[in-house]
Structure 1
Amino acid sequence: MSSEELTRFEKARIVGARALQLSMGAKPLIEVEGSLDPIDIASLELKKGVIPLGIRK
């Protein structure tokens, strides 16, 4: 594992924080088709690498 890869715990923390932002009214940073759950949107944003959050190791 390289130092740039996120652990599953880091991924869960980032997705959770971003999903909270989305549920409080933040605009999605990806194109969303249909009505998706904020967690699903945050997961897609993480896969595409557009989440404006980071982890300090």
Structure 2
Amino acid sequence: MTRQAKVDKELCIGCSLCTRSCPKSFKLEDDGKSTALAPASDSEECVQKAIDECPVQAIS
């Protein structure tokens, strides 16, 4: 089962790295911030890559 990520909206800067890496697990909202989709549909490795690549550590 793929890990369910959480995005801290206060930290998110809307860079879209996560949405480009894992488009089935993250999306940009109208406010320009990312949100995690439930359930995450990308692989565990993909979600972990998005967590690791977030420049402001907004994803956990």
Higher Rg: 1
TM-score by length of structure 2 reads: 0.31
Q: Which is bigger in relative contact order (C-alpha 8 A, separation at least 6)?
A: 2
Structure that is richer in helix per residue: 1
The alignment's TM-score, normalised by the length of structure 1, stands at 0.32
